[in-house]
């Protein structure tokens, strides 16, 4: 990776961190935050590889003891809690969103972007987060689904649209993803 790629990765790790400081709407135990917005943005602005690395770096920053998660939580504790699965799913989500975005970079628009964000940012996150919640918390499937997914879907749909709208503006004014042409200079 070039130094420029490292700088982009570092930048989006910071973006996710800063989005976590925006006030969250708390529903029961889990806050609805702008942080997954950052995950969606990382994938759709940087692409699969750099986007997922940015999210991974953000999680490293949290793990080493910075209180960057939305509720001011940080350190290793969140990685052991019942909602740890959501954290682990984020890099995968950014990768999937980035992969889909790269595939249709020439035709990217808000509608497509929203669709990608829904697939990567909602389906993937719950596909990993809910089973972990079920296992760690020892819940039934139904209870895990209602407490760990259903409540958040409206907020997530909203975030998917906003992230796509932002990514579309950024794509037109400062495109970071290059068109997938496989030439010698790719690394």
Partner 1 sequence: MTLALYVPRASVVHRLPAGAKLLALAVLAVALFVLPTLTAAAAALLATVAVGLLVARLPVAVLARQARAVVWWLGALLVVHALTTDLRTGAHVALRLLTLVVAAAVVTATTRVSAMVAVVEWLCAPLRLVGVRPARVGLTIAMALRFIPVLVERADRIRAAQAARGGSPRGVRALRTTVAPLLVQVLQMAHDVSEALDARGADDVPPPRRRRSPTSEVPR
Residues that bind partner 1 (CB under 8 A): 1-4, 6-11, 13-15, 17-18, 21, 28-29, 34, 37, 41, 45, 57-58, 60-61, 63-68, 71-83, 136-140, 143, 147, 162, 165-166, 169-170, 173-174, 176
**How far apart, in whole angstroms, are the C-alpha atoms of residue 104 and residue 100?**
7
* CA dist list (Å): 62 to 23, 70, 81, 134: 18, 11, 14, 23
- In the complex, what is the shortest distance from the CB of residue 136 to partner 1, in angstroms, rounded to a whole number? 7
**How far apart, in whole angstroms, are the C-alpha atoms of residue 119 and residue 100?**
9
Our CB check for partner 1 shows the closer of 2 and 182 to be: 2
Q: Identify the DSSP state of 179.
A: P
Our CB check for partner 1 shows the closer of 37 and 97 to be: 37
- In the complex, what is the shortest distance from the CB of residue 83 to partner 1, in angstroms, rounded to a whole number? 8
The DSSP element (H or E) to which 27 belongs, if any, is strand 25-27
- In the complex, what is the shortest distance from the CB of residue 143 to partner 1, in angstroms, rounded to a whole number? 6
Q: Do the beta carbons of residue 72 and residue 147 sit within 8 Å? A: no
- In the complex, what is the shortest distance from the CB of residue 20 to partner 1, in angstroms, rounded to a whole number? 10
Our CB check for partner 1 shows the closer of 37 and 149 to be: 37
Our CB check for partner 1 shows the closer of 21 and 119 to be: 21
- In the complex, what is the shortest distance from the CB of residue 138 to partner 1, in angstroms, rounded to a whole number? 5
Please state whether 47 falls in left (phi above 0), alpha (psi between -120 and 50) or beta: left
């Amino acid at each position: 990776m070039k130094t420029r790629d490292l700088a982009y990765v570092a930048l989006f790790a910071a973006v996710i961190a800063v989005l976590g400081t925006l006030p969250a709407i708390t529903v029961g135990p889990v806050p609805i935050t702008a942080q997954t917005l950052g995950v969606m943005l990382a994938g759709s602005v940087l692409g699969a590889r750099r986007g997922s690395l940015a999210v991974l770096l953000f999680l490293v920053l949290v793990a080493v003891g910075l209180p960057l998660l939305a509720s001011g939580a940080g350190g290793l504790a969140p990685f052991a809690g019942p909602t740890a699965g959501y954290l682990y799913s984020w890099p995968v989500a950014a990768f999937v969103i980035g992969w889909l975005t790269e595939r249709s970079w020439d035709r990217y628009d808000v509608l497509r972007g929203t669709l990608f964000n829904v697939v990567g940012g909602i389906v993937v996150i719950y596909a990993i987060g809910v089973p972990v919640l079920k296992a760690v918390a020892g819940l039934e499937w139904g209870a895990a689904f209602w407490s760990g997914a259903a409540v958040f879907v409206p907020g997530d749909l909203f975030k998917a649209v906003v992230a796509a709208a932002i990514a579309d503006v950024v794509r037109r004014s400062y495109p970071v993803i290059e068109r997938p042409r496989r030439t010698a200079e790719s690394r």
